[in-house]
Each structure stands twice: as structure tokens, then as C-alpha cells.
A and B are shown apart, each in its own frame.
Chain A
């Protein structure tokens, strides 16, 4: 396992270096894309925590993301609170909501879990869509960014803001790596691989699932506050299930349960989206085509392919990285790179 983790950390380092090199070269548009990538990387990592590690594949994650964004906007624009306080409170509020939702939704598993998170997410979408005080479907504008002028950082500069978000994403990655290396992280992996055995071991499975759902939700809400500061304008579309789907695609494209995979997925999907839409109006088709190719390959997303390639180069047997446990039902693909 150790060298697998090393490989992933190396990938993360490469991704960070690539983003930073891009940052030195990027124009105004590049900065916008970098900021978008960083926000989605954090959101995708939070979803990976729930879906990839704890096996809670949520199709309502964007609702938590959007909820965080709306809370931030509510606190700053409507109530006039300072942005720094609003980031913390919006994150906590989203975590609290996710805790309540998590306590309900973890009662069911598998496809039922996907459907119930989808339904609850759509409730959130409809709420903000119809809420006139928060702008309804026309959205809410006038959101300002964190004021870091005390330490000489002007976040209103697009370049500085993009760099700030990349740094925040990198710190988030490191914290999550630390979390996953802890006994708590080991429990998560166990829950994903075989919840039945974990229950037999006497573990309060649902409590753990609820707690990780809440933590993942809080992180999604935090990404939402960053997204609101990035575009300085929010609409209920942030909460829509299609956004959830897009983030899930990022996670799967990059590699489910690898933490670095979602980051790479966010980079690739965001870049493809912007670059392809310049080339063709039918960019959605080619994006889907590319995704199918990656997933049909039977490896765990881009990270899985890279790992296989790396192993081939080292001349190691491809089976070296397989975990000793039998893969959980229906999750074979995600275990290929484990």
C-alpha cells in the first residue's frame, strides 16, 4: 500500500506543479479557469471522501455546495457580516444540515441512497429557486471576497485570488491525507470495502457514515463559500443535480477513492469543457465520449490508468496493488488502483 500512496502523492505534487506553472503563464481567462478548477477540486475531494472512501455515492452533493454559497451570501450581502466570519459559519451551517440529512439518508444503501440524496438535493434547489428574498432563479449578486489586505494580499486581483484558491485546495488535500491516514480513515476504507464485516466487528456503522457525510458536507459547503467569492454571484443552479452529476463525473474520471483522482478529474473536466466549447458547439458529445472511453477501460479512472502505466514501466506485476480483500460487490472498478 505504501508505494501506492507515494505514487498518488507524487501525482498530486505533479498536478500542483502543473497548476502553478499554468498560473505563471495564464491571462485573465486562465485565472478564471484556475479558480474554477481549485473550487471544483475541493468539492470533488469532499465527494470522494463520502463516495470513494465511505461508499456513500451522493447525487445531492451540489445542494450542500450551493447551500454553503447561499449561506455565505446571506450572511455577507443581506446581513452585512464580515466575510471571514461568514466563511466559518456557512461551513458549519452546511455541516449541520449535512449531519441532519446524513442521519436520515444513511438508513438506506445502494441505489436507494443515490435516489434519496438526489431527492433531498432537489428540495434544496427548489427552495432557493423560489426564495424571492435570496433572488430566486435570477440569482443573488454583490458578493464580496475575503479581505486579506491586513497581510498585504488583495484577493480582488484575479491572479492573486486564483493562487489563493490553489493554496487552499493544496492545504485541503494535505489535511484530508492526514485524516485518511488516521484510524478514522482506516474505518472509512473498511466501511467502503465491507460494511457487513465492520458491523460484525462491533462498529457503529451508521454513526460513522453519518459523521463522514456531515464532514464531507461541511467541506462541500466550504467550497461553496469559495465559489460564491469567485463568481461574486450565485444562482440556484449551483444546487442542481446536474452540478452534482458533474462533480461525480470528476471523481469517477479521476479515480474513485484516490483523493488525488478527483483533483485530476476537476482539472481535466474543467479544461476540456472550456477548450472543447471553443472548438465545437457539440462539446458535450465529445466529453461524454471521452468519459466512456476512460471508464470502459476497466481501470479506476485516470489515476488507475497512470498507475497501470507506471507499474508497466517498473516491470511490476499489475496485481501487486490489489488489496488483499475481495472487492465489494459492484465496486470492482474502484478497487483496481487500490
Chain B
């Protein structure tokens, strides 16, 4: 209460100092997430996190208010482009937030770039969107595909794993993840002795791929799978008994908090890297997890929920920093930094991608459930500009 009063006082003083010119502003936020289709689950996590973020940090708005409008993106770039045009041109949204699929983000990119309305990306990890195709209007608070995998290459080489086999679904994100790992891993003296890219859709049986991988006799297998494919892959990896001889490593979506409880014992021993793990021991994360579990039937807050949560906070911090001045608000978005559930994060002014810690964590099956513990932390992981010129 005291803090709130102090804030209100500070705001009042601020208003008084500017001669009362900065009247309370209403900020319209357009939420663009998949509420139907293959990504509907992720959309729900992000929206839940976003709502919680508004609740936790809404007081920082002072007299300003946020209203949200939402639209379903499915995984459809065409209709999402139409909906984002509606939000920007017709509803006069001040900022858009969301976007799970990189293809959907690609479809909006030119429109957002030319529109002057900022977009806070809360998932889509395509490197190019904060690389060669970067835009001053696209601010990413989630991750880039390379960011998550780069630290793992160095780390794994340091663990004495010299020969690694790669596997990922055959689509753009899968390749971007593997390339990032390959670069740092080989630079640290490791060797890629084989790789396989099963089709993204319709791969039910990873048996042939696993057999081929095992035949090369690697020190470890490094993979990226997400969602349903991750559950299937981890279960089959365990089922075939390969895990006994060859440990499984991967980008952390492999054993995401969103579904690791479904994988259960099969995920035991898997080590992965990600920008958020529920096990992070900080007051910010404790507050997030307690709030999330209280609001959503005791479900663990996943990295996707954190992305939504931090997106809300990013917008609020930018409003706070610009003191109700909408023109300054846009510029303020890419200057925000704070400590959230995933630790300290800031937006890189050179690329508008988030700079954050990447956590290497281990899954262990204890007393009938999976426990995730952080093994190592790569701090302040920042992407090179990769051809980005703002």
C-alpha cells in the first residue's frame, strides 16, 4: 500500500511538474495469438501470462490505462495480416503483442515496418526478424532460435562430449536451431558426426532415425523438438533404451514445463537449454509462479507464459518511462530493462531482440514426477546484429 501511495504521489508530482499537460492516456493493445489450430495451446499460455502481467504491474501505469483487443491468428499469415491491419488502421491500436508462428510474423513484417505501430513479439523465434529483416517497430521479448542453442554448443563441448548427432524437424526453425548449435560446438572443438531432419508433420515413428543415429556411435544426441513431437520423441527415445548409452540433449522446448509432466519418466536425465525454467530461484519468479498457479488451477507457468508476462511488463514499463507521451512510448519500448521471472533482461537497441540469460537444466524423475534443476547459466546472451541495420 505504501509503495502504491508513493507511486501515486510521484505521478502526481510528475503531472504537476509538467504543468498537468500529460493527461492520463488510454493505451490500446492489440493481442494477436492463436486461439484455434495447432498453436492454440501456446496461445493460451501466452495470454494467461499476459493477463497476469497486467495484473501484477498494472499499478505502475499511474493514471494511464490499458485496454486490450484480441484476435485469433490461427497459423494463418494471410488472415492475421488482415486482422493486424484492422487493429492498426481501424481500431488505432498503440501497440500489438503476440505472434507465435514465424510464418505469421513474416507475413506481418512489411506492414508493421511501414505502419509505425510497434509489435512486441511474444514467441516467434525466427533469427532473421531481429537480423536481416529487423525493424525498429518489431521488438522481441521472447527469444531467437540461435540465442537458445548457441550457449549449449560451447557448454556441451566443455562437458567432454566431442561427437554429437543432430536431429530436428525439417523446417526453418529446426534448421536455425541446429545451425546455431553447430557453430559454437565445432568452434569449441566438437564434431558433428551425423544429422537427420524428419518431416515436421506426420512423423509418428522416430525409430528409423534413432537407429541411424545410434549406428554412428555418438557421445550425445542433440535435438530440437517441440509440442506433440517433443512428447513423442522423448518417449520413444526412452522406450528404445537408447538413453542408457547415449545421453539426450536439446533445445529446452524438448522438455518444456508446459508438457514435461506428460513425458514423465521418459524425460529423466535429459539436459536442455532454455531462456526460462520454473526452477529459477528468485523473488520475481516466485511471485510469478505463485500468481500463475493461483489463477490457473495450479498449473506450472511455462516459458510461454513468461513470455506473455514479460511482454505485458515491457509495455507497462515503456508507458511508465514515457510518462503518458505516446510518441515517446514507441521509442521507450526498445530501451526497457528489468528483472523478471527469467532473471535480468533488456532489449538490445541494435537488433530489438531480447538480451537474457540462458539456463542449462536437467530433468530428473523423483518420487513419481519430473524435477528440473538448473546446472549452469549463460548470462546476458546477446545476438550479433546478423545484418540488422535499423
A interface residues, Cβ below 8 angstroms from B: 27-29, 32-33, 36, 126, 129-130, 135-139, 141-142, 158, 227, 230-233, 235, 237, 273-274, 277-278, 281-284
Contact = CB atoms under 8 A, between A and B. Distances in A.
Nearest to A32: B82
Contacts of A273: 79
A227 B79 CA distance: 12
Given A28-B86, A274-B79, A139 B36 contact: no
B291 to A, nearest CB: 23
Contacts of B71: 277-278
Interface string B83-105: 10110011000000000001100
A158 B79 CA distance: 15
Contact of A139 (B40, B77, B82, B90): B77
B247 interface: no
Contacts of A237: 75-77, 103
Contact of B77 (A130, A235, A283): A235
B170 interface: yes
Contacts of B109: 141, 233
A233 B104 CA distance: 10
Interface string B41-82: 000000000000000000000000000000110011111011
Contact of B107 (A126, A141, A277): A141
Nearest to A138: B172
B284 to A, nearest CB: 31
Contacts of A227: 78
B72 A277 contact: yes
Contacts of B133: 141
Contacts, number: 87
27 contacts: A27-B89, A27-B90, A28-B85, A32-B81, A32-B85, A126-B199, A130-B170, A137-B103, A137-B172, A138-B106, A139-B103, A141-B109, A141-B133, A231-B78, A232-B110, A233-B77, A233-B81, A233-B107, A233-B109, A233-B110, A235-B106, A237-B77, A274-B82, A277-B35, A281-B40, A283-B36, A284-B36
B273 interface: no
A27 B82 CA distance: 12
Interface residues of B, number: 31
B262 interface: no
A317 to B, nearest CB: 44
A137 to B, nearest CB: 4
Nearest to B83: A29
Given A129-B171, A233-B81, A284-B36, A138 B102 contact: yes
Contacts of A29: 82-83, 85-86, 89-90
A141 B36 contact: no
B270 interface: no
A139 B86 contact: no
Q: Which 6 A-B pairs have the closest CB atoms?
A: A29-B86, A32-B82, A28-B89, A281-B35, A233-B107, A138-B172
Nearest to A39: B78
A158 B84 CA distance: 14
B103 A235 contact: yes
Contacts of A129: 171, 200
A27 B88 CA distance: 12
B85 A231 contact: no
Contact of B126 (A28, A32, A138, A142): A138
Contacts of B75: 237
B81 A36 contact: no
A36 B103 contact: no
Contacts of A33: 82
Contacts of A141: 106-107, 109-110, 133
Contacts of A277: 35-36, 71-72
A327 B216 CA distance: 62
A78 to B, nearest CB: 16
Contact of A281 (B72, B83, B85, B126): B72
A139 B107 contact: yes
A25 to B, nearest CB: 13
A231 B77 contact: yes
Contacts of B81: 32, 231, 233
A27 B78 CA distance: 18
A77 B35 CA distance: 33
Given A32-B81, A141-B109, 12 more contacts: A29-B86, A32-B82, A32-B86, A36-B79, A130-B170, A138-B128, A139-B106, A142-B110, A158-B85, A235-B103, A281-B72, A283-B72
Contacts of B86: 27-29, 32
B170 A138 contact: no
Given A28-B90, A29-B86, A139-B77, A231 B107 contact: yes
Contacts of A235: 77, 103, 106-107
Contacts of A230: 78
Contacts of A158: 85
A136 B110 contact: no
Question: Which of B107, B126, B200 counts the most A-chain CB atoms under 10 A from its CB?
Answer: B107
Nearest to A28: B89
Contact of B36 (A32, A136, A231, A282): A282
Nearest to B86: A29
Nearest to B89: A28
Contact of A136 (B79, B82, B172): B172
Contacts of B110: 141-142, 232-233
A22 to B, nearest CB: 15
Nearest to A136: B172
Nearest to A35: B82
